[in-house]
Structure 1
Amino acid sequence: MNESEARHMFAIVDADQDGVITLKEWFDYASKTGKLAMFEELKSVDTDGSATVTQEEFVKHYAKS
């Protein structure tokens, strides 16, 4: 996905639109969409180890140049 698509996907997963994806939001999205493998990616996306994913972390991980 490109950067724009990654930002759009982030907005979908960030259910409360607070600018970070929590573990609960990540799990809820993965469960709802059947993309449970995505749940396993959390550690590699959360580069600062905060147990949340910022838009910057999400886009950096998923956007392909």
Structure 2
Amino acid sequence: MAASGNREAQQAQLLGEFQTGVAEKLAKTVATASELAAEASRQLRDTIRELNSQYERMMNSVQIGGR
């Protein structure tokens, strides 16, 4: 009977360790995905800012050339 209790305790401990490992790995994956999404967002903002700047220059050039 004591062996059965000891075995169950070991199984519970192994399950807990497994769940902790999975949770830590998932948290790391989520953190990495979040960092990548933030970087992509920054790059997209920079690209849009540059496109707007180029558009403004093009429109200014057309206005000057069209006069």
TM-score, with length taken from structure 1: 0.22
> Comparing both structures, which one devotes a greater share of its residues to helix?
2
> Comparing both structures, which one devotes a greater share of its residues to strand?
1
Tell me which of the two structures has the higher relative contact order, counting C-alpha pairs closer than 8 angstroms and 6 or more residues apart: 1
